[in-house]
Amino acid sequence: MEKGKRHVSLKDLANEIGVSISTVSRALNNHPDISPEVTRKIQQLAAARNYTPNPLAMGLLKQATRMIGVIVPDLVTHFYSSIISGIEQVAEEKGYYILIASSNETLQKEIKAVNNLLKTRVEGLIVCLSQETRSYEHFDRLIQNQIPLVFFDRVCRMGEVPTVVVDNEDAAQKITRHFYRNGFRRIGYIAGPDHLSISQERTRGYLSGLKSCGLEFRPELLEKCNLSSNDAIEATGRLLSLPEPPDAIFGINDTIAFAAMKEIKSRGLRIPEDVALVGFTDEFHSTVVDPALTSITHPTFEMGQEAARLFFKRIENPEAKPDQVVLNTKLVVRKSSVK
Amino acid sequence: MEKGKRHVSLKDLANEIGVSISTVSRALNNHPDISPEVTRKIQQLAAARNYTPNPLAMGLLKQATRMIGVIVPDLVTHFYSSIISGIEQVAEEKGYYILIASSNETLQKEIKAVNNLLKTRVEGLIVCLSQETRSYEHFDRLIQNQIPLVFFDRVCRMGEVPTVVVDNEDAAQKITRHFYRNGFRRIGYIAGPDHLSISQERTRGYLSGLKSCGLEFRPELLEKCNLSSNDAIEATGRLLSLPEPPDAIFGINDTIAFAAMKEIKSRGLRIPEDVALVGFTDEFHSTVVDPALTSITHPTFEMGQEAARLFFKRIENPEAKPDQVVLNTKLVVRKSSVK
DNA sequence: TTGAAAGCGCTAACAG
DNA sequence: CTGTTAGCGCTTTCAA
C-alpha cells in the first residue's frame, strides 16, 4: 500500500502477490474458476492487510449505496430516537447504513433534507412528516421516480407509500373511556395541527370515546396547538382558565403532556385531584415525573423495525401494493389519572 | 436519461447537448475556458434536469467521502442526541454528512462500530467512549493510520487526540459545596466505573469539594455503579440503607440522577427534606420531575459543535498539536437541594 | 485457470 | 475554447 493511502485495494493485493486484479477479485468472491491454493493465498493476504471492499466503487458499479435516509421531526425526543434505533437494527442486519436528518418540524428543512439525502444517493427514504408539512410535492417526486419511500407515525399518500402507524383512534378512545370510568366528566384534549394524520385520528378517537360514554362534546374543551412546549403550555392555560375548566386532560404527545403537567402544577393545581392527566409518552419518562403519568406507550422500537422491514420489502418488490402496518398501543395506568 | 436510472449524469447532459463530457464538467464548475454561452446553456440544462454530482464518483476520485462517523454510547439519551445535533449543524455547514452508530455502552459494539464506519470510508470519527472501554487498540489503529479522530465527554489518549470535555472536577466541586452551604453534611456520591475519565474527574472534584468545606471523606458514602438505571437504583439503595445514611446525594449523570430519585421516593423518603439530590441533567427533564432537580447542565449542543470544529481543524491541519477544549458547566439550583 | 478491457461518474492533464 | 484520455476501485464479459 502506498503511503498516504488509508485503505488497501485489490490492486495492492494483486501487485503484492503478482497476479491480476481480476484474479484477486474472483478469489475473494470464491469464484470456482480460481484454483483453491491461489484463492487461499489471496484470501489470507487480504485478511492480513485488512482489506475491505471500497463501497464507493461498489456503489458506482452497482448503482446501490446500501444507505437509507431517515428524516425525523427532531432528534432529541425519545420517541424518535427509539424509532431510529429500531430502524438501525434491521438495517444493520441487512448490511445497510442509515443517514439521519432532522426536519426540526419545519417544511423547509424537510424539503432540504429530502434533497440532501437524495444527493448522497441513498437508496430510499424512511420519513416522519414535520408538523408543518401539508403539501407533498417533494415526496411525489420520489414516488414518480420509484425511489423507495416509507412513512411512519405522521403519514400521507397512503395507498401509494407503505406506512407504519399506531391505532391512534383506538388509543384516544382508550384514554377517554379510562377517564370516564374513573369518574371524570369534563374531559379536555390538547390536539395538534389539523392536517397531521395522527392529530385527526386521535381527535376522532376522542370524539367517539366521548360518544360511547354518553358524554356530550364541548368544543371549548378541545384545544389545538403546534407541537412546541410553549404553545402547549398556553393551550393548557386556556383550558384551565375556562369558566368551567376540565377535570381531566389528555395531551397528544410527549412534549405536550409534560408541558401540560408543568402548567397545571405552576397554577397550584393538584394532579389528579384537581385535574387528571394522561399523555402519550414512553415508559421511562412517565415514571420519573410526579405524579407518575398514565400514558399511552408506543411500541417505538418495533415501529422502527417495521418501517425498515417495509423499506426492504419495497426494494425487493417495488411493484407490490404498499403495506399499511398498524401497531397497537397500550394504556398504562399510573397515578396521574386515578383519584 | 435512460429509464431505470434515477440520477442524471454528466454523460446524459453531454449527449443531450452534443458536447463532450469534459465540457459539461467544466461548464458546471465555471471553468473560465468554456465560452459563456455554452456555459449558460449547460448550466440551464443541468438545472432543468435536476443534475447533482454523484458523490460516489467524487469520493472515488478525490478519496474523500465527506462523511464523518459518530459513535455514542446510546441514542436515546438527551445528552447524546443533543450533542449529535451540534455535530450535525457544523458538519452540514461544511457540506459533510454524519453517520451515527451506537455502542450501546459495550466495548464489543464499539469496536464493531469503528470497523463498520471505516468500511464505509468515513473520513474520520467523533467518539464518546462506551462505559466498558478500557483498552484502546481499536483507536490506536486509527491514530497510527492518521485517520482523524476526536473524543468528547469520555475520552482517552489525550495529547494524541483532540478532545472536548467539560470541567468535571469543577462541576463536582460546585455540587459538593452547594450541598455544604445548604446545611448538608453527609454528602453521598454515586460514581461510575473507575476507568472513565469523567468518573475519575468528578470523584476528584467530590473529594476536593469535601476538603475545601472541611468535611471528612467517608468511603461508605462513595458508591459506584455501572451507568445503567438498575445498577444506580441498587447503589442508591445501599446508600440509603447505611446505618448513617447520607442527607444529600449526587449522581454522576442523567440516568443515575433519575434512578436515584425513583429509589428515594419508593422508600417513602422526601426530597430534599430527608435526602437532597443533585444530578447532571438537561434543562428540560430537570424541571419536569418533582421536585425540580438541581443539576449541572452541560452545554451539550456546544460540545457537539466544538467536537465537529476540532474534527475539521484536524482534517485541515493533521500535524498540529491536538486541542483539548474544556467547556464550563452551570449549577442550576432548584428545589431538590434546598430545604 | 487466468488476464485484459470496459464501464460505473467524475476530474484533470494533455492535445489540439 | 473544446475534446481525448487516464484513472479512482471494483465486477464482469470476452479472450486466451
Question: Identity (one letter) of the amino acid at A14?
Answer: A
Strand C, CB < 7 A, residues 53-72 of B: 53-54, 56-58, 60-61
**pLDDT for A14 beyond 80:** yes
Distance CA A277, CA A250 (A): 6
Q: What is the pLDDT of residue A2?
A: 47
Could you tell me how many CB contacts below 8 A there are between chain A and chain B? 95
**pLDDT for A3 beyond 60:** no
Beta carbons within 8 Å of B31's beta carbon, 6+ residues apart: none
Q: What is the pLDDT of residue B285?
A: 76
Q: What is the pLDDT of residue A339?
A: 86
Distance CA A98, CA A118 (A): 13
pLDDT tens readout for residues A88-115: 999 999 999 999 999 999 999 999 999 9
Closest C1' nucleotide to A34's CA: C1
Question: Identity (one letter) of the amino acid at B243?
Answer: P
pLDDT tens readout for residues A24-59: 999 999 888 888 888 999 999 999 999 999 999 999
Sorting pLDDT into bands at 50, 70 and 90, what band is B4? low
Neighbours of A277 (CB within 10 A): 26
What does the DSSP 8-state code read for residue B216?
Answer: P
For residue B252, give the nearest of B228, B279, B222, B225 by alpha carbon. Answer: B279
What does pTM read for this prediction?
A: 0.90
**pLDDT for B140 beyond 80:** yes
- On average, the pLDDT of chain B sits at 92
The arithmetic mean of pLDDT across residues B312-324, rounded, is: 93
What does the DSSP 8-state code read for residue A137?
Answer: H
**pLDDT for A281 beyond 90:** no
The arithmetic mean of pLDDT across residues A119-131, rounded, is: 95
What does the DSSP 8-state code read for residue A297?
Answer: E
Of residues B339 and A218, more confidence is placed in A218
Report helix, strand or coil for A122: coil
With distances taken from each CA to the C1' atom of nucleotide C8, the closest residue turns out to be: A61
What's the CA A86/C1' C10 distance, rounded, in angstroms?
A: 36
Distance CA A210, CA A187 (A): 8
pLDDT tens readout for residues A246-273: 999 999 987 898 889 989 988 999 999 9
Domains in chain A with CATH codes: 10-53 (no CATH), 66-165+300-327 (3.40.50.2300), 168-298+331-337 (3.40.50.2300)
Strand C, CB < 7 A, residues 8-47 of B: 9-11, 21-22, 25, 28-29
What's the CA A110/C1' D4 distance, rounded, in angstroms?
A: 42
Distance CA A221, CA A277 (A): 14
